[in-house]
Amino acid sequence: MRTYLECYPCVLNQALEAAKFAQLDESDQRTILHQAMTLLQQMSPGVSPPVIGQYIHRMVRNFSGERDPYAGAKQQANQEALALLPSLRNALRTASDPLEIAVRYAIAGNIIDFGAQNDSMDIQQEITQADKAPFGRCHLEQFRDAVSLAGSILYIGDNAGEIVFDRLLVELLLQISDADITFAVRGSPILNDATIEDAQQVGLDDLVPVISNGSDAPGTIVTEVNDTVREHLTGADLIIAKGQGNYETLSHHAYPLFFLLKVKCPVIGRDMGVSVGQYVLAGNPTPDHKRSAASAG
């Protein structure tokens, strides 16, 4: 997905919020905003927003001297989400359609997002309402068929905390499918996106192989990820991509993709044809995706 004009003020706001989160003083905050403005002027509008976000957060890390300003917040999110796991497993055991509920829980976890302009991240409330949350797009039966036919699945995670609910879906996929499942995370810290350390904290590596994508972008930039992830992208029978950043960077590719996310941004909502606040489980069905097959490698 390209960067729209409405993304510009959002980028500046995210730059300021990241600088504040890193506890930079007002002078450094002003410098980061000025550099972000220059970056927006220099960047092609054809790039996806996560490309710009990658540069912004590199600046913040350089100014702060911190490798991961969000480390404490990520650990807390993981711990809070893990506390919910036993009750959610019980709910799945009694669900009439465990796959639908597991998908809903995974999408509910997408509310844990420090990059989106999101006034509330009440995960307990989101989980409580998940079974009745409205879908803007729901390709559940196509997803069910894809899971049943897949010999290999690449699951691309998004945020810390959220990956606990991804773990719940992975546990179910291991029960209902014979596919080999690999879980991919970011290569190094960016925002509250999950890394190898987060996957280990929530026990994902005890279930399936967890791989780093080698990148510090808040998405999956195909030209930038390492060879291991690129091989999985081109070789997997099914790819599950979580969150807005992965949608922004992968939606124009022709991989066998299903996007799982909660829409928190009106620009992404418009791009997908859904409303802010709605859940999305969407396959890769449009002609535009198919025309981009040559760029998928």
List pLDDT tens digits, range 200-222. 999 999 999 999 999 999 999 99
Alpha helices, H only, 95-210: 98-108, 123-129, 140-149, 162-176, 196-201
- Contacts from 263-266 at CB under 8 Å and sequence distance 24+? 263/136, 264/111, 264/113, 264/116, 264/117, 264/118, 265/10, 265/116, 265/117, 266/6
Tell me, rounded to whole angstroms, the distance of Cα 245 from its chain centroid: 5
Residue type, 58: R
Q: Is the dihedral of CA 111, 117, 121, 125 positive or negative?
A: negative
Please list the helix, strand and coil fractions of the chain in percent, rounded to the nearest 5, in that order: 55, 10, 35
- Which pLDDT value is given to residue 287? 32
pLDDT at 288 over 80: no
Residue 219 vs residues 24, 134, 209, 234: alpha-carbon distances, Å: 25, 25, 20, 17
Q: What pLDDT, in 10s, does the model give residues 153-205?
A: 999 999 999 999 999 999 999 999 999 999 999 999 999 999 999 999 999 99
User: If you write DSSP's letter for every residue of 17-57 in order, what string do you get?
Assistant: HHHHHTT--HHHHHHHHHHHHHHHHHS-TTS-HHHHHHHHH
Mean pLDDT (the chain) is 92
- Which pLDDT value is given to residue 175? 97
